[in-house]
Amino acid sequence: MLPELWLPEAKTVISVFLPYTKEIKEANAVDMKFPANEWLHGRFEGQKIIDRLSSNIVRVLQNSGYKAISPSIDKRFKASVGTWLKTDKKLNNSYYYSNWSERHVAYAAGLGTFGLSKGLLTEKGITGRFTSIITNYNHEPTKRIYNGIYDYCTMCGRCIKNCPVNAISFEHGKDHTKCSKFIDYTAKKSNPRYGCGKCQVDVPCENGIPHYKKTEGLI
């Protein structure tokens, strides 16, 4: 769904990146087989905090006379949990979708580019969470200084090494099915919390952009 479908009067999309704390990152880098408790809490309780932040930003804009919504907490938001494609069972792959993607919005807004693990590399690193607000408040756009979707990723392969289920490769990128199944496994073990994040810690892009290479013609 485009911004105008969420809010017909839309003029601005505000994208926000919230990095995890140093303590959460360090804890999750100790053991690459299972997510640290700190990471699980950061992912689960942290998302509740982000949702409250999103609601507060919307409220501030509305109290200032503007219209605003946050898609990720809007009742119209939809996301699949891995729907099997009838035509793709032989490939053991799943179809994942949502009608609003915080990472893609952040890329469009100029916050960063994608990495091999499909996370988004920002000036504050890849380790964190995003939220966004659509509003009719007319804000000056942030200049996007990159051209390609992978400009900030050096393709060093460290995330490949870190993944506990070998869900990332140079040849095929990220296998979302393997990743999703492992997340489901962590949910059973740590209910109601879940997560992984091994591809986001102990990597060159953990806390910033490791290298910038300009590419042309990718978008």
Residue 4, class by beta-carbon neighbours within 10 Å (0-12 exposed, 13-18 middle, 19+ buried)? Answer: exposed
CB 106 within 8 A of CB 17: yes
Asked if residues 127 and 120 have their Cβ atoms less than 8 Å apart, the reply is no
For the entire predicted model, the pTM comes to 0.87
What's residue 85's pLDDT? Answer: 45
State mean pLDDT over 47-51. Answer: 97
- The residue among 6, 12, 210, 21 whose CA lies nearest residue 128 is 21
Q: What is the pLDDT of residues 26-43, one digit of tens each?
A: 999 999 999 999 999 999
pLDDT number for residue 213: 52
Q: How far apart are CA 164 and CA 33, in angstroms?
A: 5
Residue 82 corresponds to which tokens in the numbers above? 């891995």
Asked whether the beta carbons of 23 and 144 are under 8 A apart, the reply is no
Within 10 A of 148 (CB to CB), how many other CB atoms are there? 16
CA-nearest of 150, 119, 125 to 219 is: 150
60-97: per-residue pLDDT in tens? 999 999 999 999 999 999 987 654 444 444 444 556 78
Count of Cβ atoms closer than 10 Å to residue 100 Cβ:
21
pLDDT of residue 217: 37
CA 15/CA 105 separation, integer angstroms:
7
Model pLDDT, residue 219: 33
Answer whether 185's CB lies under 8 Å from 35's CB: no
Helix (H, G, I), strand (E, B), or coil: what is residue 79? Answer: strand
Q: How many residues does the chain have?
A: 219
Q: Are 168 and 160 in contact (CB under 8 A)?
A: yes
Answer with the residue of higher pLDDT: 219 or 144: 144
What pairs with residue 135 in β-bridges? 12, 68
